[in-house]
Each structure stands twice: as C-alpha cells, then as structure tokens.
Amino acid sequence: MQVPVASLAVLADTDQRFRPQQFSTALWDCRVDFRFPMVKRLDYAEPERWAELEASDNVFALVVMAQIRAKVTDDAETLKGWKFRLIRLMYERGYEQARILELFRLIDWMIRLPKALEADFRQTLYAYEEQQRMPYVTTVEQAGIQQGEALILLTLLQEKFGHDSAEAYRERITAAEPEQLLQWSKRILSAETPETIFH
C-alpha cells in the first residue's frame, strides 16, 4: 500500500542562526531540490514555548525539556534545580511507577551533575518521595545496593569457605536487609566456620 510521506527536520544544536529548510544536490544534468519544514528545539527554551511544553500531557515533552535544559544551562546549581523540577512533574502528573522509572533514567542520563550536587539532588528527591509516599526511585536504588552487597558477601563466602558454603547460604543472604548484610560481612573477617557468621 502506498502512503504519502512527509519529512520534518528537528534541529537539536545550540546555534540560533542555523535554520536550514532545503537541501540541493546536482550531478551532471541531474538535480534534486528538497524543501522541508523545520523545528528548532532551542526555540522552546523561550518562555512562551516553554510554557507549551510544561502544559503538554505528552510524555515526550518532559524528555524535550530535559534536553533543552541540559543544553542551555551553564550553572550546575541551576541545572540541579531544573532536574528536580522535571522529575517532580512526573509525580504531579500521576504517571505509574514503571513510566516514572523509565523517564527518570532518561532524564538522569541527560542532565549530569557534579558528584556533590548529584548527592544533594538525590537527598532532595528521596525526601520528596517520602513526602508523597511514592518511593519509586528510592526503592529501586536501594534494591540495587542490596543486591550488590549480597553479591559481595556471597563472593567472600565462596573465597573463604568454598562454593558449597556460598550455595548453602545464598537464599538467606539474598533475602537479608542491608543492615544484616553489613553485620555478616564484618563477621566473615574473623569467622573460622560459616556457621559463626550467621548465628
């Protein structure tokens, strides 16, 4: 089935003057002239256009907003504020947990902060999640940390007491809370048998 196709150029650069709307090429007596509509993402940084993005219920608008702020914001502290504002919008719009986590990963990747400011941003986010009683990001990150701690303990147990010992305690270790894992990890340094670790 033949369907008509239209092309649209979306320009993601930061040069306000670069606004091509046509492409031409020629070889011998053959010539192609191609004209196309163009959208400049940078234009949406202007207050009126930015308001359009904030008012949009299209999920992709948040992604565009993150891209714009990452491009046009030089001050890291200001960028941290924008990052939190965009993340907060996801919660305010009532997106489901899976959607929030997908968008969070994308925005987190686009808007990179210096280490100290990133830690400050995470604390602000965790406090906000607790206030909203929606610890989506917090829960996922804590689960990741817990898995890492369990893997380290299993590796140490295997190195010190062998594969069978690690397998015997695998289920108990993977189900343990972080505080318990830390306690067991400290005991393994002086333990003479696996049993003395988990008593």
Q: What is the pLDDT of residues 76-103, one digit of tens each?
A: 999 999 999 999 999 999 999 999 999 9
How many residues in the chain? 199
112 token code pair: 């990179």
Q: How far apart are CA 63 and CA 153, in angstroms?
A: 39
DSSP code for 199: -
In this predicted model, what pLDDT tens digit does every residue of 144-156 receive, in sequence order? 878 888 889 899 9
- The answer for residues whose C-beta is within 8 angstroms of residue 104's C-beta and 6 or more apart is 87, 90, 136, 137
* Amino acid (one-letter) located at 105: R
Question: What's this model's pTM, rounded to 2 decimal places?
Answer: 0.71
Q: How far apart are CA 166 and CA 174, in angstroms?
A: 11
Domain ranges, ordered by start, for the chain:
42-134, 141-198
Query: Looking up tokens 């492409």, which residue turns up?
Result: 23
Q: How far apart are CA 158 and CA 77, in angstroms?
A: 45
In this predicted model, what pLDDT tens digit does every residue of 14-56 receive, in sequence order? 899 999 999 999 999 999 999 999 999 999 999 999 999 999 9
E strands within the chain?
9-11, 22-27, 30-35, 38-40
